[in-house]
Amino acid sequence: FGSHWDERLFHTELMGAKFNIRNLLSPLTLALMEDTGWYVADYSASSISPFGHGAGCDFADEDCLRNGVVPPYGRGNFCDMEMFVSDGTLANFWTCDPGRTHIAL
């Protein structure tokens, strides 16, 4: 661990390396704060991210893409083609960039 959670595993986490207004404060981050001994967390203020939730160990241990295709454990979390989706406002848009396809060793 460094100063942020691993973006590959905690993409929607407030303590992830990239800021996004829709990022969530997770129980994991609150537990880290409590473990410092400086804070008492209010876990009712946290949210469990749907990103990777329930996807199993392969989600964390294996590549995002296999032979250019999203494997079953990554469906709904990773993409195999570049996408941009918008509802016409700047507040609600989503992108998918398949450029980040492997975990660091």
Residue ranges of the binding site for Zn(2+): 4
Binding-site positions: 4
Q: Which tokens is 22 given?
A: 């829709």
Q: Render 54-80 in DSSP notation, one character per residue.
A: T--HHHHHS-S-BTTB--GGGBTTB-S
Q: Dihedrals φ, ψ of 57, to 5°?
A: -65, -35
State the amino acid at position 85 in one-letter form: V
